[in-house]
Amino acid sequence: MTVVQSLGDRPLFKLALVLPMAALALAGCKTTGSSSLLGGNSSAQNSQQAQTPNMRQAAQWGARWEKNQGDPALTVGYVQRLRALGSNDRALTVLQDSLKANPRSTIIQGEYGKQLAAAGKTDQASVVLQRAAAAPDASWQVHSTKGVVLDRLGRHADAQNAYRAALKKSPGQITAMNNLGLSQAQNGQLKDAEGTLRQAYATSAGRKHSRLRQNLALVVGLQGRFEEAKTIVKADLPPQQVEQNIAYLRQMLAQPDPWKKLSKLEKKKT
């Protein structure tokens, strides 16, 4: 099942908690192109060409940010362009400097928390996002990202409260609903998880997201309804990979504590 990451080279059904972050998936993987038949690496060349305008934009935003490091809009714009270049360490530094210049900005705090979470700095991210989410003007993205971090820490009940806070800010938001459903699944609340994911998938926006469909198939399969899971996911995967995923699910459910295994799979994404 195609999700944010695989575990090694083996295809898996796997939880896909999503950070609501422009241009940056929770554990996004860069792929490298293979050499063309003519002997050149056309994918690498295309990638280098695509990076040129990104580098130019990052430089322009960086020059503007240097003049006003505490400005939230300039900070977010610059950081997004650094992420597009894969310059995540520089993005962290920029956010740290911006917070020094404007420590009360909820927007900058939220972006810093997201960047820490994406870098696997879970404990630090939790502290920052807790503070950001306490502000009255905290966005749904801040609450949802806080939930992802709490799920990583095994605090599923608290994580679910964070996702519900996100949904109060933005009712029907697909990312928050996806994350709520998967938090429920990690906590063994499979009926609740299925209901949440089906509710999200029933919307026009939800039906456009293959990841949401795959997560619904995962939750259905975890309840032993393997044929139904196959039907849900077959639109996204070749038949052989579907069968491999189902076989892995059967194997996992045969273990003494499948929920512990499920949580371990999620934590290995960081």
Q: How far apart are CA 243 and CA 164, in angstroms?
A: 34
pLDDT at 255: 78
Q: Which residues sit opposite 10 in a β-bridge?
A: 7
Write out the E strands in the chain.
none
DSSP 208: G
Spatial contact of 146 and 177, defined as CB atoms under 8 Å apart: no
Among positive and negative, which fits the CA dihedral 178, 181, 186, 191?
negative
Could you tell me the CATH number of the domain that includes residue 249? 1.25.40
pLDDT at 260: 62
Is the pTM value of this prediction over 0.85? Answer: no
By residue range, what is the domain housing residue 217?
172-270
Q: How many domains does the chain contain in total?
A: 1
Q: Is residue 35 part of a domain?
A: no
Q: Is residue 244 part of a domain?
A: yes
Q: Is residue 198 part of a domain?
A: yes
Nearest by Cα to 26 from 96, 98, 88: 88
* Tens-binned pLDDT, residue by residue, of the chain (270 aa): 433 322 223 333 445 555 553 322 332 233 333 322 233 344 444 545 556 788 899 999 999 999 999 999 999 999 999 999 999 999 999 999 999 999 999 999 999 999 999 898 999 999 999 999 999 999 999 999 999 999 999 999 999 999 999 999 999 999 999 999 999 999 999 999 999 999 999 998 888 888 898 899 989 998 989 999 999 888 778 888 888 888 888 887 887 766 666 665 555 443
Q: Is residue 231 part of a domain?
A: yes
- What angle do helix axes 42-67 and 72-84 make, rounded to 10 degrees? 160
**Cβ neighbour number for residue 50 with a 10 Å cutoff:** 10
- Token pair 């964070």 is found at 162
pLDDT at 268: 45
Q: Is residue 14 part of a domain?
A: no
